[in-house]
Structure 1
Amino acid sequence: MKTFIEVIVQTFLAFFSILYLTRILGRQQVDQLTFHEYINGITFGSIAATLATDVDQRTWQHFIGLVLFGILTFSVSYFTMKHRTISKVLEGEPILVIQNGKILEKNLKRARYHIDELNVLLRQADCFSPDDVEYGLLEINGKLSIIKRGDKRNVTVGDLNLQPSPETIPTELIIGGQIIYENLKKKNINGRTLLNELKMYGVNRIEEVMYASMDQSGKLYVDKFHDKLNEKIDISEDNKGV
């Protein structure tokens, strides 16, 4: 019974200690963490878990270790903000991995990245070929920042000196084959009108629709459970079957 109570007390202590320390240390999201901040987060969790469950050693020993680790982490973060040299040593710096559409293999190797990993980052940046990239920088948090070549950049309404219309969130009308009647009322349409509109998309029954929404202009987007695609694309290396 004594051990059970000790675990409860230590768990509460570990939980609120790490909650307070992380609140002080910063609010970065996971994808914003640098490498040493990510490692520190793992170590924090490990120390806190030991503090919560280890009843063989004194609680204050683990607690002091947790607080001391928090102080060291805060100190490192403070000095990296104040001193550029320390920041470069501990956190690293961006690495140029693509220039004028060419992959810089030595820099990619220095970052310990494989070409497949680079391709994933390119696709996440809405780019499917290094040839479209003027400059590609691998950031210290692992993300890829790119500047597309001039002939590959998307033209914006600002480039054309046009005044864009305000964007609004489309209203969901059908989800999983079920009509959202409250949203139908917002759009001032009834079920019969909606069904007539859906027939233009080859839909005969509401149950055939996985998702449907309507934008501010009244344009309907419809996605059926069974999409009839003329061509199925397989991006895997083993393309024996789709």
Structure 2
Amino acid sequence: MGIVVLRTIVMYIFVVLTLRLMGKRQIGELEASELVVTIIISEIAAMPITNTGVPLSTSVIAILILMILEVVLSDLAYRSMGVRTLLYGRPSMFFQKGKLHQQEMKRQRFNVADLMEELRNNGAVSLSQVDYVMMETNGKVSVILNAESSPVTPPDLQQKPEPVRMSYVIVDNGTLVRTNLKRLGLNEEWLYKQLNKERLKHWREVFYLSFEQDSGKVVLIPKEKGGKKR
């Protein structure tokens, strides 16, 4: 009995530390790859506890390999849009400004009943009350209410609510998101004009750049160098 208790304590502490090292996202909203790793780790950790014939070191080594693999892949996903898309996929737009994307709903096996449930969970009862409905890469569905259906705030009591505006990421950690650039009808000439305003030569020097479709508002944040912004 003493051996089982000791093994349980050791594996508990080790698994908790491993998950912490893998990042806080591991405890919060899990992507598909993160969920798979978490399930495998839980299975491996249980083996030496329930079966004392299994060496503790074998499970520890296996969990360490999984942790290193997840950390490396997460770092690659952070640096590369291609790797991120391969591991986590892309957000799926189900509804956009009055248009229902039926093929995308079919691809994600997301039916009308699911759609209406998500609307009700977000305080809406009809598609006429929302501007956007999309499934994020972690499987959560985001519902963006239109201006008329958004909750009233103190400023709204003094003036008419501003319309909901969709912001698109153009540059993500030095990577140009060409699909969004094309969707907005923009080109690289426009992009370089934005870079010149910040005295930047290439989008690889940009950490974040977004464009607000309706207002034309641009948010540009350069990459930090040596702990300081350019």
The two structures have a TM-score, normalised by structure 2, of: 0.62
CA distance in 2, matches of 1:41, 1:120: 29
Indicate which of 130, 136, 141 corresponds to 1:139.
Answer: 136
CA distance in 2, matches of 1:65, 1:81: 24
Share of identical aligned residues, percent?
26
- 1:164-194 per-residue CA deviation (whole Å, 9 max, x = no partner) reads xxxxxxxxxxxxxxxxxxxxxxxxxxxxxxx
Instruction: Tell me if structure 1 keeps the 8 A contact 2:130–2:143.
Output: yes
Letter in 2 for 1:161: Q
Indicate which of 83, 90, 94 corresponds to 2:80.
Answer: 83
CA distance in 2, matches of 1:138, 1:130: 16
1:25 Cα deviation from its structure 2 partner = 1.3
Indicate which of 130, 134, 143 corresponds to 2:127.
Answer: 130
Indicate which of 110, 128, 148 corresponds to 2:107.
Answer: 110
CA distance in 1, matches of 2:28, 2:69: 22
Indicate which of 39, 53, 57 corresponds to 1:56.
Answer: 53
Instruction: Tell me if structure 1 keeps the 8 A contact 2:11–2:45.
Output: yes
| Total equivalences in the alignment | 159
Unaligned runs of 5+ in 2: 160-230
Secondary structure of the residue aligned to 1:158 is helix
CA distance in 1, matches of 2:41, 2:116: 33
C-alpha change, 1:61 and 1:20, in structure 2 (3 Å) is same
C-alpha change, 1:67 and 1:112, in structure 2 (3 Å) is same
CA distance in 2, matches of 1:146, 1:55: 49
Secondary structure of the residue aligned to 1:50 is helix
1:66 Cα deviation from its structure 2 partner = 1.2
Letter in 2 for 1:147: I
Larger radius of gyration: 1
The two structures have a TM-score, normalised by structure 1, of: 0.59
C-alpha change, 1:154 and 1:138, in structure 2 (3 Å) is same
CA distance in 2, matches of 1:158, 1:111: 39
Kindly report the root-mean-square deviation, in angstroms, between the aligned alpha carbons of the 2 structures: 2.2
Instruction: Tell me if structure 1 keeps the 8 A contact 2:78–2:84.
Output: yes
1:152 Cα deviation from its structure 2 partner = 3.2
Which position in structure 1 is the counterpart of 2:164?
A: none
Instruction: Tell me if structure 2 keeps the 8 A contact 1:101–1:132.
Output: no
Q: Give runs of aligned pairs for residues 52-201 of structure 1, distance below 5 A.
A: 52-161=49-158
1:146 Cα deviation from its structure 2 partner = 2.6
Which position in structure 2 is the counterpart of 1:14?
A: 11
Instruction: Tell me if structure 1 keeps the 8 A contact 2:19–2:26.
Output: no
Secondary structure of the residue aligned to 1:153 is coil
Letter in 1 for 2:22: L
Letter in 1 for 2:48: L
Instruction: Tell me if structure 2 keeps the 8 A contact 1:11–1:52.
Output: yes
Instruction: Tell me if structure 2 keeps the 8 A contact 1:122–1:129.
Output: yes
CA distance in 2, matches of 1:140, 1:154: 26
CA distance in 2, matches of 1:113, 1:30: 26
C-alpha change, 1:153 and 1:51, in structure 2 (3 Å) is same
